[in-house]
Structure 1
Amino acid sequence: MSLIITYIGSKGCVIVGDKRRIGFYGPEQARERLEEELYSGKINTSEKLFKKADEHGITIKISDDAKKIRERDDVVIGEVRSKTTLETKRKRIYATTGTYSMIELLGSDVQTMKSGESAIIVFGNKYTQKLAEKSVNKFWKSKINLLEVGKIFETVMEQVALETPSVSPEHDMIIKYPKIGLKSAKELVRKTIIQDVKELSMWRDKLRENMVTTSKNIQMASKIIITGDIGTVDYVKDNEIGIILNKGIEALNKDWEVMVKPSEIIRMTIEDISNVSKGDLAVIENENLCIKRTKELLNCEFILCKSE
């Protein structure tokens, strides 16, 4: 669901990218059949896409807010991606005056790299590539400046969007005019790729860490006690009381570390000690931690959970 066109010339570079994102929801085989029809050009309007999706039992969601191109100092970057059940594949182009490099990544690992100098590079499926290349050839001139290139690319994007719902009418464009020699340009692109991929790897590591944390939080949250008996008051001293936790109940801190084990004493505080006596039962009722006999509320700094 992407179309990115990049011009690399001796005076600078131009990149334009559409903004469409399409989500397909349903059985895998049906999704694949629908995508094949879309990418072959058999479906040429959004109305037909929704109709075909309904026929295949697929739900689709279309949005036009994707950012597929960006800039980093004097380098423009375009990216298309596809997701599998296990990994994300990315294809990127990095370009500046007189040079470019294309890389393919699996996750954050570079699989292939191809470099060149002056060129027009089109990213997209076979059908959108064919439409874009035909349209570029139609409007191209022998002598042309970067602003004219930008206008041609905008026209191409608009025309391709009329032929397929996989490309949005809206698009982003970046034009760069860096005055830089070929050797320096190649080194700049190389360093940009290294830094960009490094940041992608760090982002993926952080995302993976957050996913693990979220998964653990969900798992542990299911163990939190929301109702039932907690334990028995062992002592009362000033506004502090000690409660012996019942078997099968433990106290954890906010990092889900066990601080008080079953049958051990956990310390809590209370406002009115006259409403609690040794031997009273501590419970959670109506989401409140309290003394069962008097309903006096207890204050606890830990999370009370079911133990393994």
Structure 2
Amino acid sequence: MSLIIAYVGKKGCVMASDKRRIAYFGNNRQALEDELYDGSITTDDELMKRSKELDVPIKITDDADKLRIVGNTVRGEVSTKGSHETKRKRIYGTTNGYQIVELIGSETKSRNAGEKGIILFGNDFAKKQAETLIQRRWKASHSLRLMGDIFEEILGEIAQKTPTIGKEFDVLIQQPKFNPSEAQKHLNITIDADIKVLTKYRQQLTEEMIQKTREIELANKIIDEGPVGKVDSIDGKMIEVKLNEKTQAFNFNWKPLAGPNQKVMMFADTDDIKVGDKVIIKDEVLCLKRNKSPLSCNIILCSL
């Protein structure tokens, strides 16, 4: 988990975050996370070494965009990917107001509002470090830009103590003119719309996954040996082939072109073709069974 530091008040909203993301692979993930989040592991090298000892492969990247401008708000998000769903915790901040939203998938589990304050998202170790440093350095009289600089410095110092925080940072500021009532009204509209976008995105991903699964299933049915059909008509070297009762045809985008007992076009390299000739695939080559003359087509032939 990363660290997000947010200030919300009458001056506006400023958020700072690192860009680190850690992906875990393996069954002993919890043991590694426990050591990581209690501060026992202090460097990237120690983390890589411990992950090998626990047989938990990891992948570390420092290019995640955890902050984003949405309408007149700044949105910060930390997420945890499970085996079935992604848990997201978001803060939306603007002048004189913020809301914290927790989601599983695209379903809202909790939503809480506030008017002002400094809000921290992250693991307990990182948050405790941040709280101490903020108390020493932050003042309400600071400008938003100076607050952003201070938050970025704090992130940098904490990154020296824990590999949960990367060394690349983002800082975003928004300062529209809202009173507390206007702020919450704007937040409600913005958040509702943003969650709808997430829902649509997840639906699209689901549809793409279903399509990919179907394509994999069809790819496993591609015929590389056996009967396909028989020649139904001949026009020079262009022939019409009637598929047998166990064969179907698709284009290269996996769109159905012909089902069993329907006809498809093929092309021959020989004039020695007869109506009724059987078409087969032999050693992954499409050909006539009678004389092994090769045939070509712009389709994919699959079994049912």
Normalised by the size of structure 1, how large is the TM-score? 0.91
Deviation at 1:74, TM superposition (A): 1.5
Point out the more displaced range, 135-144 or 107-116: 135-144
2:180 is matched with 182
What amino acid does structure 1 have at the position aligned with 2:303? K
Count how many residue pairs are aligned between Structure 1 and Structure 2.
Answer: 302
1:146-165 equivalence runs, <5 A: 146-165=144-163
Distance 1:217 1:272, change over 3 A: closer
Give the conservation status (yes or no) of the 8 Å contact 1:9–1:97. Answer: yes
Shift of 1:177: 2.3
The partner residue of 1:195 within 171, 193, 196 is 193
Deviation at 1:143? Answer: 2.0
Q: Post-superposition shift, 1:268? A: 1.9
CA distance in 2, matches of 1:90, 1:49: 24
Cα deviation digits, residues 216-256 of structure 1 (max 9, x gap): 11011100113333233243245543434345323345555
The answer to whether the Cα contact below 8 Å between 2:5 and 2:17 also exists between their aligned partners in 1 is: yes
**Alpha-carbon separation, structure 1, partners of 2:238 and 2:95:** 72
Name the structure 1 match of 2:259.
Answer: 260
The secondary structure found in structure 2 opposite 1:275 is: coil
Name the counterpart of 1:118: 116
Q: How has the CA–CA distance of structure 1 residues 41 and 272 changed in structure 2, closer, same or farther, with 3 Å as cutoff?
A: closer
Contact 1:243 1:266 in 2 (8 A): yes
For 1:58-137, what aligned pairs fall within 5 Å after superposition?
A: 58-137=56-135
> Do structure 1's residue 303 and structure 2's residue 300 form an aligned pair?
yes
Q: What displacement does 1:40 show?
A: 0.7
Give matches, 1:171-250, under 5 Å: 171-250=169-248
Tell me which amino acid in the other structure corresponds to 2:302.
C
Shift of residue 272 of structure 1? 5.9
For residue 265 of structure 1, report the CA deviation from its aligned partner.
Answer: 5.0
CA distance in 2, matches of 1:221, 1:143: 64
Q: What are the ranges of 5 or more consecutive residues in structure 2 without an aligned counterpart?
A: none
Mapped to 1, the partners of 2:168 and 2:84 lie a distance apart of 31
Match for 1:274: what amino acid?
A: D
Give the Å deviation of 1:94: 0.4
- Unaligned segments of structure 1, at least 5 residues: none
* Contact persistence 1:4–1:17 (CA under 8 A): yes
Q: Could you tell me whether the CA contact under 8 Å between 1:100 and 1:116 is conserved in 2? A: yes
The 3-state SS of whatever aligns with 1:225 is coil
8 Å CA contact 1:3, 1:128 repeated in 2: yes
Equivalence for 2:26: 26
Tell me by how many angstroms 1:53 deviates: 1.1
- CA 1:236–1:170 in 2, change beyond 3 Å: closer, same or farther? same
Q: 1:289 maps to what in 2?
A: 286
2-structure distance, mates of 1:242, 1:154: 70
Question: Which letter maps to 1:282?
Answer: V
- The answer for the alignment partner of 1:4 in structure 2 is 4
Q: Provide the aligned C-alpha RMSD in A.
A: 2.1
CA contact (8 A) 2:236 2:271 kept: no
What is the rounded CA distance, in whole Å, between the counterparts of 2:146 and 2:214 in structure 1?
54
Q: In 1, distance between residues paired with 2:242 and 2:143? A: 81
Q: Is the 8 A contact 1:17 1:173 kept in 2?
A: yes
> Residue type matched to 1:17 in 2?
S
Q: Which amino acid aligns with 1:22?
A: I
| Distance apart, 1:305 and its partner CA | 1.1
Determine the C-alpha separation between the residues in 2 that align with 1:241 and 1:49.
Answer: 64
**Residue aligned with 1:230, SS:** strand
- Superposed displacement of residue 84, structure 1: 1.8
Inter-partner Cα distance in structure 1 for 2:198 and 2:161: 34
Alpha-carbon distance change, 142 to 72 in structure 1, aligned in 2, over 3 angstroms: closer
Compute the TM-score of the two structures, normalised by the length of structure 2: 0.92
In structure 2, what residue type is equivalent to 1:153? F
